[in-house]
Amino acid sequence: MLSYFWFSYATSPAPIRRADYGVSVNTAESSAVPAPSGRQFRISSGEHRATITEVGAMVREYTVAGRDVFVPFAENEPAPVFNAAVLQPWPNRLRDGAYTADGVRHQVAVSEPDRDTALHGLVCWYRWTPVDVADDAVTLELALPAQKGWPFQLVLQARYTVSDDGLEVVVRARNVGTGTAPYGVGFHPWLSTGGTPLDECTVSLDATTHVTVDDRLLPTGTEPVAGPYDLRATRSLAGLDLDDAWVDATRDDSGLSWARLGRPDGTTAAIWMDGSMDCWQVCSADHIDGYERFGLAAEPMSCVADAFNTGERLVRLAPGDEHVVRWGATLL
């Protein structure tokens, strides 16, 4: 365990069992070739089952009673469309892959060349380290190093737990470097239609303000929800083309904000976030080649696109500071 591992548990961490994951924890002891998504951490409780990947700490699959809540992807392929990825240290798009921090201009790699943006942060393709493994929970950790365009050092943790209530995710970031780091976090689960066309499903979203964008999908302002962007009441997804953000999330009596995908079989795949985040992105995948309308992304986020440049809802993580968010999913 790393010396700066700060998350405490009521009980001692369970041992990491090599046989559980198919690839030796010490790869020098095994000739097995790791799967593109890395080791698989399978957790379950009752009818709830999830598989978390070593690469990217992604939720490769989440099912309830054998029914998909998230669109799964295969163990032997990289996540094709950021499936349930952790998006750090920024979610969504960064204009020109550039930003200024403390008066210094930084440039990271442009990963979305068609729009000249850097998409979804830096951590999706790192191998995360398991630091606590149990039957119903796993915690993975990543020491994100300083690198070209990112001169900061963060230690990140993602803890996944399943229970009768569903899947819960707690993600922490601590600045272990010497400079104040700009920071945001988001997540990219694709809600499953249960095998039916997206047009036969419904959507609802707890948010009151829509984010307007330019042709690069970078923010230009906000507006009260109206027309196709008012998802507060359940509405059909037939013909609805979405790749939009919302802010000013509304919450239920438990302090949770919800995104819901209603399915023709009467079930609802749902994602919630607590008060640690206030932004949603919803995408119907109309313009993703090969994956058109295959599911509905409902992305809880601490900030929307280009926060490193706009400063909107941007976290400035000072040395030693920690930032924590919580979200989850279930089948209703």
- Classify residue 22: in a domain, yes or no: no
- Classify residue 137: in a domain, yes or no: yes
Split into its structural domains, the chain has a count of 1
- Classify residue 7: in a domain, yes or no: no
Model pLDDT, residue 35: 86
Rounded distance between C-alpha atoms, residue 110 and residue 146, angstroms: 17
- Give residue 166's domain range: 35-331
- Classify residue 61: in a domain, yes or no: yes
The CATH number for 92's domain is 2.70.98.10
Rounded distance between C-alpha atoms, residue 272 and residue 285, angstroms: 20
Residues 172/157, Cβ–Cβ less than 8 Å: yes
In this structure, what DSSP letter does residue 10 have?
S
Model pLDDT, residue 134: 97
Model pLDDT, residue 6: 41
Nearest to 260 by CA among 120, 166, 170: 166
Radius of gyration of the chain (CA): 19
Rounded distance between C-alpha atoms, residue 285 and residue 189, angstroms: 12
Model pLDDT, residue 3: 33
Nearest to 1 by CA among 177, 132, 127: 132
- Helices and strands per DSSP (H, E), number in the chain: 1, 27
- Classify residue 6: in a domain, yes or no: no
The SS3 assignment for 199 reads helix
Nearest to 82 by CA among 327, 288, 312: 288
Specify the pTM: 0.89
- Classify residue 27: in a domain, yes or no: no
252-269 burial, b at 16+ Cβ within 10 Å, e below that, comes to eeeebbbbbbbbeeebbb
pLDDT tens by residue, the chain, 332 residues: 333 334 333 333 333 333 343 333 333 333 467 889 999 999 999 999 999 999 999 999 999 999 999 999 999 999 988 899 999 999 999 999 999 999 999 999 999 999 999 999 999 999 999 999 999 999 999 999 999 999 999 999 999 999 999 999 999 999 999 999 999 999 999 999 999 999 999 999 999 999 999 999 999 999 999 999 999 999 999 999 999 999 999 999 999 999 999 999 999 999 999 999 999 999 999 999 999 999 999 999 999 999 999 999 999 999 999 999 999 999 99
Compute the Cα dihedral for 241, 245, 250, 252 and give only its sign: positive
- Classify residue 161: in a domain, yes or no: yes
Model pLDDT, residue 230: 97
Model pLDDT, residue 312: 97
